[in-house]
A and B are shown apart, each in its own frame.
Chain A
Amino acid sequence: MAAHSLEDVERRKAWGFVAPALVWTIVFFVAPFLFMAAMSLWAQQGGSIVRVWNLGNYIAFFEKDALFRGLTNSLEITAIVTALSILLAYPLAWIIAERVPQRFQRTALILAVLPFWTSYVVRSYSWLLVLSRNGVINQTLMNIGVISEPLELASNRTATVIGFVHFFVMLLTLTIYANLVQLSPNYRRAAADLGANAFQTFWHVILPLTMPGIMTGAFLTFVLCIGDYVTPQILGGNNELVLPQIIMLQLGRRADFPMAAALSIILMLAVTAAYVACARWLKIERT
């Protein structure tokens, strides 16, 4: 009886510890999500929201090419940005972790993430000025005679990708650096003892061991990039729309919340798919 009571007390205590987080999650995530999911199954008719359950918004998404292309554009841009960011961030992280003396590493990291300190919107507009016809790049190339006509660098997908990559290289540098500095030098020594050259050591030992850092950064890049509205809006010139822009379009004038909710659910599904793909490396679950 006494043991049973103790168990009850322990259970109540456990619930007491868990309750704040649970309430927080239910109030700020589960409930809004369920509301959004319900909203996505309603419809907007005649300027009002009609609470009749239907799949009309999802059907419209697959039937209307302009809406569906929002998703494919988002996925394409996110894939390109993630791949480029990894390719640029890895060497940078490696140089900071392996080549920069330890006492300067903190300074190097601060310098690497310095652009984080600027407003995201300001940074995007700055890129617009850099990439424009009269921008720094075109003017420099024209002044040194490399080109005679300005290149079309702004208001297109290239500009969007550049703006994104600038931002996410910083993020990936941090996650990969955090991974690299955890590696024991014994791995390299063991590989060398077994006859591996530098490339083989990197390819077969270092790279696999830094996959958690890469995939963590890649996942965060994917999530932040696919859900971003500001960069494509400022740098893309609306020459193609990504899904967040289409979501905004539903709200701006017509306040079509059911369609915006359906598109947001689709966006969430894309993020969930990315998580499932990366879960092996993220290892969020307890082992």
Chain B
Amino acid sequence: MMIDITEGAFARRLLASAAILALGAATITITPAPVLAQEELNALVWCDHTDPALIEPFEQANNVKVNLKEYEGTGAGLSIIDQSRPGDWDVLVIDGVDVQRAVDKGILAEIPADALPNADIFPEVRMEPNNTRDGKTYAVTEKFGYNMVSYDKTKVDPADMKDMSKLWSDKYKGRIAVYDYYLPMIGLTGIDLGKATASLTDADLPAIKDKLFALKANAKQVSDVVSSQTALATGEVDIVFGGGEWLTAGLVKDKPNLDWVIPEQGAVRWAQSIGVMKDSTKKDLALKFVQYIVSPEGQARLATSSCYWAMPANAKAGEKLSAEQKTALRWDEQADYLKRTQLYPIPSAELDAKMQDAWTEMLQN
């Protein structure tokens, strides 16, 4: 008997078996839902908070389990909160320039000002307009760094890296990775054009867009943190524009050929803040966690977290960092760095959308 393989039943079996194989092969990420046990704390964080060396001392000291969920991008973080039940989350780590978005949504609790070591925070990163509203504190800066130029000093002329405009020159064509985040990169490009990040408007976008298009033409790739880091470490590129100590410092021990610099034109400064969720049922414990994170000990551990290194906001963390760690973080040069850098642009929602459109056009160009 011959089998007519064009019969529906055969095709169905074939499709079903192939679909099962395909689905089985797909990577399924199961994210554990926040567990609301009595001694547990649920924190929505950036990847640097997931280092056990940072979290375990707090857990042991307070006999508590901290459940961490990491996210990338404020939009993604806020939508996780939107999809959660009130009280699911106790602590939120958020981009410093987006704290006001969280305040607008009414998801952050007021933190008593005297509960935080404000006097110990570097004045330039206290960021009161961002972390407070109407005199009430909703978050505190915990870590900061710079989007500048990371490079392999054995392959490029370090003197060239001090001049941002060199990144548009033929000399480095095809040797640059551009960090894939439009906010700092538009800020950096604006700085190269002599425009302050705080005063960027729609009218500046055409010139910035032209500059970005030229940058893309000169770059090898536009990539996220991991891909940029990999490209620099493996020699795929020699420069990461928009990189900085957060991208390079953790690698320097094994790759002493890597370095970073703030160009003469300047660079942008990023900062991340931490706050207590308004609907948390464990606000005291959540505040205790925030206090631990901004304490000198917590700050030293956060600054040298396995995910990425960057400057602690609390100046007293210097007492807890080793000389080697401080050297890697360029501790002694911070006064100069802070002076020469500007905070990320904080665009209105409309300008933000236009900036994203400009970035998308650049990527597709």
Closest beta carbon of chain B to A83's beta carbon, Å: 18
From the candidates A45, A66, A234, name the one contacting B363 in the complex (CB within 8 A).
A66
Which residues on B sit within 8 Å (CB–CB) of A253? 73-75, 181-183, 352, 356
Is B356 touching A155 in the complex (CB atoms < 8 A)? no
Is A240 touching B363 in the complex (CB atoms < 8 A)? yes
Closest beta carbon of chain B to A207's beta carbon, Å: 12
* B68-92 interface bits toward A, Cβ cutoff 8 Å, 1 = contact, 0 = none: 0000111110110000000000000
Starting from the known contacts A120-B25, A209-B6, 19 additional A-B residue pairs (CB-CB under 8 Å) come to A44-B349, A66-B360, A175-B18, A179-B5, A183-B5, A184-B3, A187-B2, A212-B14, A216-B11, A216-B15, A216-B18, A233-B224, A237-B220, A239-B221, A251-B73, A255-B75, A256-B353, A282-B15, A284-B11
From the candidates B8, B227, B235, name the one contacting A133 in the complex (CB within 8 A).
B235
From the candidates B78, B350, B364, name the one contacting A65 in the complex (CB within 8 A).
B364
Is B363 touching A285 in the complex (CB atoms < 8 A)? no
The distance in angstroms between the C-alpha atoms of A287 and B8, with both chains bound, is: 6
Interface residues in B21-79 (C-beta closer than 8 Å to A): 21-22, 25-27, 72-76, 78-79
The distance in angstroms between the C-alpha atoms of A191 and B230, with both chains bound, is: 56
Is B235 touching A134 in the complex (CB atoms < 8 A)? yes
Which residues on B sit within 8 Å (CB–CB) of A283? 6-8, 11-12
Is A155 touching B236 in the complex (CB atoms < 8 A)? yes
Sorted nearest first, the 3 A-B pairs with minimum C-beta distance are A255-B75, A237-B221, A252-B73
Q: Which residues of A line the B interface, CB within 8 A?
A: 44-47, 64-67, 69-70, 73, 113, 116, 119-121, 125, 128-129, 132-135, 152, 154-155, 171, 174-175, 178-179, 182-184, 186-187, 209-213, 216-217, 219-220, 224, 233-234, 237-241, 246, 249, 251-257, 281-287
Interface residues in B255-309 (C-beta closer than 8 Å to A): none
The distance in angstroms between the C-alpha atoms of A70 and B79, with both chains bound, is: 24
Is A155 touching B220 in the complex (CB atoms < 8 A)? yes
Q: A171-B21, A238-B180 are in contact. Are A212 and B27 (CB under 8 A)?
A: no
Which residues on A sit within 8 Å (CB–CB) of B319? none
User: B325 in the interface, Cβ–Cβ < 8 Å?
Assistant: no
Is B79 touching A251 in the complex (CB atoms < 8 A)? yes
Closest beta carbon of chain B to A166's beta carbon, Å: 13
Residue in chain A with minimal CB distance to B19: A220
Is B360 touching A241 in the complex (CB atoms < 8 A)? yes
User: B104 in the interface, Cβ–Cβ < 8 Å?
Assistant: yes
Q: A47-B101, A237-B221 are in contact. Are A220 and B360 (CB under 8 A)?
A: no
Is A239 touching B222 in the complex (CB atoms < 8 A)? yes
Is A174 touching B21 in the complex (CB atoms < 8 A)? yes
* B331-365 interface bits toward A, Cβ cutoff 8 Å, 1 = contact, 0 = none: 00000000000000000111011001100110110
The distance in angstroms between the C-alpha atoms of A163 and B43, with both chains bound, is: 36
User: B223 in the interface, Cβ–Cβ < 8 Å?
Assistant: yes
Closest beta carbon of chain A to B95's beta carbon, Å: 9
Which residues on B sit within 8 Å (CB–CB) of A125? 230
Closest beta carbon of chain A to B74's beta carbon, Å: 6
User: B17 in the interface, Cβ–Cβ < 8 Å?
Assistant: yes
Is B3 touching A171 in the complex (CB atoms < 8 A)? no
Which residues on B sit within 8 Å (CB–CB) of A287? 7-8
User: B234 in the interface, Cβ–Cβ < 8 Å?
Assistant: yes
The distance in angstroms between the C-alpha atoms of A284 and B12, with both chains bound, is: 6
A-B interface pairs (CB < 8 A), number: 167
Residue in chain B with minimal CB distance to A238: B222
Which residues on B sit within 8 Å (CB–CB) of A64? 357, 360
Q: Which residues of B line the A interface, CB within 8 A?
A: 2-3, 5-8, 10-12, 14-15, 17-19, 21-22, 25-27, 72-76, 78-79, 101, 104, 174, 180-183, 220-224, 227, 230-231, 234-236, 348-350, 352-353, 356-357, 360-361, 363-364
From the candidates A113, A217, A220, A255, name the one contacting B78 in the complex (CB within 8 A).
A255
From the candidates A66, A119, A234, name the one contacting B227 in the complex (CB within 8 A).
A234
Which residues on A sit within 8 Å (CB–CB) of B223? 155, 237-238
Which residues on A sit within 8 Å (CB–CB) of B18? 171, 174-175, 178, 216-217, 220
Closest beta carbon of chain A to B53's beta carbon, Å: 25
Residue in chain B with minimal CB distance to A211: B6
The distance in angstroms between the C-alpha atoms of A100 and B2, with both chains bound, is: 23
Q: A45-B349, A132-B234, A171-B18 are in contact. Are A155 and B364 (CB under 8 A)?
A: no
24 contacts between A and B (CB under 8 A): A46-B348, A47-B349, A66-B361, A66-B363, A66-B364, A120-B27, A121-B27, A155-B236, A174-B18, A174-B21, A178-B17, A211-B6, A216-B11, A233-B224, A246-B360, A251-B79, A253-B73, A253-B75, A253-B181, A253-B352, A254-B352, A254-B353, A284-B11, A284-B15
Q: A120-B26, A152-B174 are in contact. Are A252 and B75 (CB under 8 A)?
A: yes
Is B11 touching A240 in the complex (CB atoms < 8 A)? no
The distance in angstroms between the C-alpha atoms of A256 and B76, with both chains bound, is: 10
Closest beta carbon of chain A to B218's beta carbon, Å: 12
Is B174 touching A282 in the complex (CB atoms < 8 A)? no
The distance in angstroms between the C-alpha atoms of A183 and B364, with both chains bound, is: 47
The distance in angstroms between the C-alpha atoms of A56 and B158, with both chains bound, is: 48
From the candidates B11, B27, B75, B350, name the one contacting A281 in the complex (CB within 8 A).
B11
Which residues on A sit within 8 Å (CB–CB) of B3? 182, 184
Which residues on B sit within 8 Å (CB–CB) of A220? 15, 18-19, 22
Q: A46-B350, A64-B357, A251-B79 are in contact. Are A240 and B234 (CB under 8 A)?
A: no
